[in-house]
């Protein structure tokens, strides 16, 4: 499996590599200590790092916490550099984090040619500015789309949608597809509200089991952990329903930890 760029891809790759699925992380870094630390952490998690060096510093994130309120400040740095997509890869599934930059239409075309699943993680800042172009250039090749409710609205142009989130997800799943033999799977998380799944034109919801407030240590990384848990289970079972439950479990675990590290 290949994951391209972004905090979600880096965090999710730790979860995926905990089972017998070879996993690679592709992303841009600087020529600095941050890149070496990232390489070290990826290798420790049995993830193959494919780090492309640039003149920008490696992306960094700082968590600011006051009482029960926390905010994340991110310096994107090299993460904003276009990725030179590898000319060859061996994977069952390729997943691109929405913050990544690069010629992902060509990557999608190559995945379609090879019969490789092409997954995309939505990112509100990257999809809202050019949602119509995104929908016509990249979306036709997307077999699996994962995002949250706000990112879904950004993809639809930010102006809202005449209906509920399930109908919006259904509309996105029905966008034209380059490879018609496989229907697009759409997964939309909504915090503590039920997660939405659209597959084969059917909308399903999966309730989120609440975590008692006194057990919540850090909400940062919940979405990343969900994606990692989902992809790991999806590779094992090919069932998006079971994968959502695994994603819930991973997110539930990580918000009870300080930071985003898993126990050995």
User: Catalytic amino acids?
Assistant: 224
At 55, give phi and psi (nearest 5°).
-85, -5
Residue 160 neighbours by CB distance under 10 Å:
9
Q: Which residue has the tokens 């539930």?
A: 252
Q: How far is CA 229 from the centre of its chain?
A: 11
Structure tokens at 154: 């950004």
Q: Using CA atoms, how far apart are residues 208 and 71, in angstroms rounded to an integer?
A: 23
- Asked if residue 75 lies in contact with residue 32, where contact means CB atoms within 8 angstroms, the answer is no
- Asked if residue 1 lies in contact with residue 9, where contact means CB atoms within 8 angstroms, the answer is no
């Amino acid at each position: 499996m290949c994951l391209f760029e972004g905090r979600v891809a880096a965090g999710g790759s730790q979860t995926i590599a905990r089972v017998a699925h070879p996993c690679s992380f592709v992303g841009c870094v600087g020529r600095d200590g941050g890149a070496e630390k990232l390489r070290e952490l990826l290798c420790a998690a049995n993830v193959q790092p494919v780090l492309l060096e640039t003149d920008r510093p490696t992306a960094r994130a700082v968590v600011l916490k006051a009482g029960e309120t926390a905010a994340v400040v991110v310096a994107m740095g090299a993460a904003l550099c276009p990725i030179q997509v590898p000319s060859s890869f061996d994977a069952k599934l390729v997943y691109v984090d929405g913050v990544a930059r690069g010629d992902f239409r060509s990557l999608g075309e190559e995945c379609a040619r090879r019969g490789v699943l092409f997954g995309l993680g939505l990112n509100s800042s990257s999809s809202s500015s050019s949602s119509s172009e995104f929908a016509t250039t990249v979306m036709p090749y997307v077999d699996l789309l994962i995002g949250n409710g706000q990112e879904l609205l950004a993809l639809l142009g930010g102006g809202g949608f005449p209906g509920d989130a399930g109908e919006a997800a259904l509309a996105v799943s029905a966008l034209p597809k380059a490879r018609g033999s496989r229907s697009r799977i759409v997964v939309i998380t909504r915090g503590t509200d039920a997660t939405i799944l659209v597959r084969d034109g059917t909308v399903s919801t999966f309730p989120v089991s609440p975590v008692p407030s006194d057990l919540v240590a850090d909400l940062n990384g919940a979405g990343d952990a969900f994606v990692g848990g989902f992809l790991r289970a999806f590779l094992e079972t090919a069932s998006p329903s079971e994968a959502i439950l695994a994603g819930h479990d991973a997110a539930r675990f990580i918000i009870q930890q300080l930071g985003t590290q898993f126990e050995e």
